[in-house]
Structure 1
Amino acid sequence: MATASGQRVVLHVGLPKTGTTYLQGLLAEHRDSLRERGVLYPFLRPGGMFHAAVEVRGSHEKFGLDQDAIEGSWAALCARAREHNGTTIISHEILGGADEDEIAAALTPLEGLEVHVVVTARDLGRQATAHWQEEVKLGDVRSFADFERDQFRADLSEDLVRAGAERPHFWHAQDFAAALGRWSTAVPFERVHLVVCPPPGAAPSKLWHRFADAAGVPADAVDPGRVPPNAVNASLGRAEIAVLRRVNAALAGSIPQPAYSQIVKRVLAEDALARRHGERPRTPAALVPLLSEATDRWSATVRAAGHPVSGDLGDLRPLPPPDGTPHPDDVDESALLEVTSGALAEVLQRFPLPSAAPPEAPPPRSGTVTRRSGWRAARDRGRG
C-alpha cells in the first residue's frame, strides 16, 4: 500500500550478476510507457544511478571517480522520487552490499515515503564462475583455482562476522539472506522482497515478470523482448578469460580506473573477446556441495523471516555440471593463440583506415621560392 499521496519508492539493490543489467535495460528502454502507467525510472545523466550508488557506498576511489563530481547524485534521485506522484524505481547492484550505516543514510532523504527493497538472487553455481569472470574483467589475474582457495572456500563463521571480520567479497556480495537482513534494519521486513532468478534455459521474460510482481509495477508496461544491445552483460568463455588474465598480468596495473574499464573491459573483454562465443566455464562438481549447503541455510533464514519471495527458492540450488565438463582453468595453448589472434584482429579493425591517396601538398605561400622554381630562375638568368 502506498502513502496517502500515492508515492512509493522501489530500491532494486542487486545482487551483482543476477540479471540486473537486463532489468535496468528494460526499465530504461520503456521509460515513456512506464511513466504513462505512473512508474518513474529517473534519468539524471549517463551513469547517474551508478554515481548515486557509488556515493552511497563511498566507493569512488575503487571506480576511479572524482568524489566532488558525483556528490549530490543520490539526493537528486531522491528528490525526483519526492516530486513524482506514483512509484519510482532506483536500481543498482552496488547497493546490495551496503552496511547498516550506509542504508540508514541512504533512506534519510526518502523519509515519509513508502520504501520497498528488491533483492535479486541467482544460484551460486552460476554465480561462482560469473563472479570470477567479472573480477578478471576488472583487472584480476587469478585462476579459478585461486578463487576457489581465496574466496569460495574461505567464508567466515558467523561468530567472526558478528565480531567485525570482513568476509571474502564473493560471500558478502552473494549472501541474499544477509542482504535482506541488512535492509530490514531500516525497512519493514514485509517490504524487503526476494526475487529468484529463473533456472538455466528459462526465458529472460520470466525474470522481468518476477521483478514486476515484487516491485508492484504493471508487467505489461514493458515488452521483455525489447532490450537495447548493451542490456546484456557479455559473458566470456574459458579461453577468453585465460587470454584476459594474461593481458592483465602484462599490463600489471599500468591502466588505472576508470580508463581500464573503458578500454580493456568494454573494448577488449565485452566486445572483442565476447564476440568469440567460447565455451562458458562451469563450476566444478567438487564445489557444488559447499554452495548448496550455503544456499539451503540462507533459504531457511528467508522463510523464517517471512520476506516476500517472487519465484521458487528451489531455483537457487546449484546444479552439478555434466560429466566430463572441463575445469574452468583447462585451456590448451592452441585455443589461447586462436582467441588472441581473433581478438587482436577485432580490435585493429576499430582503427580508422588511412586515406588511399596521399594528402596533397599545400601550395607555396606567396613570396616563397620552391627548390624547382629556384633552379629554373637560375637557368633563365644564365640564358639572359
Structure 2
Amino acid sequence: MRVVLHVGLPKTGTTYLQSLLATHRDALRAGGVLHPFLRPGAMFHAAVELRGSAAKFGLAEAEVAGTWAALCARAREHDGPVLLGHEVLAGATPDQVAAALAPLEGVEVDVVVTARDLGRQATAHWQEEVKLGDTRSFADLEAGELRADTGRDLGPDAGGSRPHFWHAQDWSWALERWSTAVPADRVHLVVCPGPGREPAELWRRFAAAARIDPGLVDAAAVPPANPSLGRAEVALLRAVNAGLADRLDRSTYLRVVKKEYAEGELAARGSGGSPGSSSGSGAGSGDRPRAPHRLHGLLDGVTDRWLAELAATDHPVHGDLAELRPVLGGPDDPDPDAPAPPGEDPVRIADDLVARARGPRRRGLLRRMVRG
C-alpha cells in the first residue's frame, strides 16, 4: 500500500479535485484505489484537527477529534493506493507535518502540492476572504498583505507575522515544509493549467503525481464548484459583511452568508465557476476581478525566486512551469474594487440574513432579498 496526501494550496482547483474523488469513490475502488469515507466532511475535519483550527471554522474540538487517526487506520487496511488530503494542510508547520505522518509510519507516502499563478491567486484569495466575512477592499489587501511580506515564518496561525496570503500561497515553502518528513523526490508540484485550458488537464496532472490511472474517473463529470463573483457582487458582499457587524456566530455565518447567500444567490446572478478552477471561469456579473497590472513587478519577482528555489531541489513537477507566470489585468483594465450595485441596500440585506438565521427557514427567502 501507499498513501498519496494532497495538501493544497488553497484556491488551486482543490474543490474540483475533492469533488471528483468523492463522486467517483466507487469507480476508484473498483480500480484498486481507495478514497476512504468516514462521514461527510471527514477529510476537512481531519485537516482542521491537525492544524488545530477548529474554532476558525466554527467547529467544536470534539467534532474533529480522532478523525485523522481514523482515516489513517482505514488507509492501512487497504492493499493499494490511498488518496487523502485537504487544502487546509497546505500551511502545516513542521510539527504538524510530523503529527500527520506519525500514524502512517512505515507506509510509503507521496505528497502533492498544487500551485497556480500568483495573479489569479491574489484575487481568488481576496474574494475568499470576503466570503469568510472580510470587509477589506482589494487595495487594502494589497497594502496590508501583498506588499507587506515579512519573510518566511510559520504564519499567523502559529503566532508568526507573515501575512496570510503569502503563508497560504508560498508553494515553494510548502514543498520545503512537507519535505521535512517526506523525501523531496516524493513531494510533487502539480501546476494548475493556465487560462483557457480544459479543467480535466488538472486531473491528468494530479493523477500522474499520484501514479494512478486517470481513466478511472470522468474528469468532466463534476458540476461547477466554488463559483467566482463579479466585482460588483464582491463590493456588495463587503458592504453586507460590514452591516452584519458580528451579529452571527461563526458557524451560522458560514452556513447562511457564505454558503447560501454568497455562493448561492450572488453567484447565481451570472455564469458561476468552472470545474477546473477554484475561482471559476465566469463571475456573477460577468465582470470577474483581475489582479491589477501594477502588481507585475512584485508578483513576477516572487515567482522568479520560487522557481529558482525549485530548480535546486528534487521535487517532481507535473505540468508546465511557464503557467506559473502571473496572469494580470492589462494597464487599462478596471481595478478589482468597484462600487456596490445601485439600488441595493446592504444594511437591509444584512438584517434579513440575521432574521433568516434566527427564524424559521423559508424557501425562497434569499431569492427575494437579492435582485437576480
Please indicate the TM-score interval, normalised by the length of the shorter structure.
Answer: 0.7 to 0.9
Q: 2:264 aligns to what? A: 271
- The amino acid across from 1:82 in the alignment is R
What 5-or-longer segments of structure 2 have no aligned partner?
270-283, 366-372
Give the 3 Å change call, closer, same or farther, for CA 254–220 of structure 1 in structure 2: same
Residues 246-275 of structure 1: per-residue CA shift (max 9 Å, x gap) = 111011111111111100001110010011
Counterpart-to-counterpart distance in 2, 1:21 and 1:353: 26
- Alpha-carbon offset, residue 158 of structure 1: 5.2
Counterpart-to-counterpart distance in 1, 2:154 and 2:35: 39
Q: 1:288 aligns to what? A: 296
Give the 3 Å change call, closer, same or farther, for CA 67–159 of structure 1 in structure 2: closer
Residues 269-302 of structure 1: per-residue CA shift (max 9 Å, x gap) = 0010011121110100001210111111111111
- Alpha-carbon offset, residue 339 of structure 1: 9.6
Q: 1:351 aligns to what? A: 362
Report SS of the residue matched to 1:241.
helix
C-alpha contact 1:273 1:339 (8 A) present in aligned 2: no
Report SS of the residue matched to 1:14.
coil
Moved more, 286-295 or 92-101: 286-295
Where has structure 1 moved over 4 Å in runs of 4 or more?
Answer: 158-161, 338-341
Residues 234-255 of structure 1: per-residue CA shift (max 9 Å, x gap) = 1111100011001110111111
Q: Pairwise CA RMSD of aligned residues?
A: 2.3
Q: 2:368 aligns to what? A: none
- Alpha-carbon offset, residue 320 of structure 1: 3.0
Q: 1:208 aligns to what? A: 203
1:134-213 equivalence runs, <5 A: 134-157=128-151, 165-213=160-208
- The amino acid across from 1:172 in the alignment is H
Report SS of the residue matched to 1:193.
strand
Q: Does 1:246 align with 2:239?
A: yes
Residues 47-76 of structure 1: per-residue CA shift (max 9 Å, x gap) = 111000000000011112110121100000
- Alpha-carbon offset, residue 322 of structure 1: 2.9
C-alpha contact 1:239 1:339 (8 A) present in aligned 2: no
- The amino acid across from 1:26 in the alignment is L
- The amino acid across from 1:267 in the alignment is E
Report SS of the residue matched to 1:141.
coil
Counterpart-to-counterpart distance in 2, 1:159 and 1:195: 24
Counterpart-to-counterpart distance in 1, 2:251 and 2:328: 37
Counterpart-to-counterpart distance in 1, 2:212 and 2:80: 10
Counterpart-to-counterpart distance in 2, 1:336 and 1:300: 47
Of 54, 79, 83, the match for 1:85: 79
Counterpart-to-counterpart distance in 1, 2:150 and 2:322: 25
- The amino acid across from 2:64 in the alignment is I
- Alpha-carbon offset, residue 159 of structure 1: 8.9
- Alpha-carbon offset, residue 337 of structure 1: 2.7
C-alpha contact 1:9 1:114 (8 A) present in aligned 2: yes
- Alpha-carbon offset, residue 36 of structure 1: 1.1
Give the 3 Å change call, closer, same or farther, for CA 214–352 of structure 1 in structure 2: closer
Residues 192-248 of structure 1: per-residue CA shift (max 9 Å, x gap) = 000000001111001000000011111000111111x4x511111110001100111
Counterpart-to-counterpart distance in 2, 1:221 and 1:187: 27
Counterpart-to-counterpart distance in 2, 1:220 and 1:115: 22
What 5-or-longer segments of structure 1 have no aligned partner?
1-6, 355-384
Counterpart-to-counterpart distance in 2, 1:34 and 1:16: 24
Query: For this pair of structures, how many residues does the alignment match?
Result: 339
Q: 1:255 aligns to what? A: 248
C-alpha contact 1:189 1:305 (8 A) present in aligned 2: yes
Give the 3 Å change call, closer, same or farther, for CA 158–15 of structure 1 in structure 2: closer
* Identical columns (%): 60
Report SS of the residue matched to 2:315.
coil
Residues 173-199 of structure 1: per-residue CA shift (max 9 Å, x gap) = 000000000000000000000000000
Counterpart-to-counterpart distance in 2, 1:255 and 1:12: 33
Of 297, 305, 309, the match for 1:297: 305
Q: 2:112 aligns to what? A: 118
Counterpart-to-counterpart distance in 2, 1:160 and 1:63: 20
Counterpart-to-counterpart distance in 2, 1:352 and 1:115: 46
C-alpha contact 2:152 2:167 (8 A) present in aligned 1: no
Q: 1:337 aligns to what? A: 343
- Alpha-carbon offset, residue 160 of structure 1: 11
Give the 3 Å change call, closer, same or farther, for CA 329–302 of structure 1 in structure 2: same
Residues 66-95 of structure 1: per-residue CA shift (max 9 Å, x gap) = 101211000000001100100111120000
C-alpha contact 2:110 2:210 (8 A) present in aligned 1: yes
Which has the larger Rg?
1
Counterpart-to-counterpart distance in 1, 2:189 and 2:219: 20
Give the 3 Å change call, closer, same or farther, for CA 112–353 of structure 1 in structure 2: closer
Of 228, 233, 236, the match for 2:226: 233
- Alpha-carbon offset, residue 12 of structure 1: 0.2
C-alpha contact 1:10 1:116 (8 A) present in aligned 2: yes
Residues 321-370 of structure 1: per-residue CA shift (max 9 Å, x gap) = 13421101133x5x3436979x99x999x83489xxxxxxxxxxxxxxxx
Moved more, 284-293 or 175-184: 284-293
Q: 1:325 aligns to what? A: 333
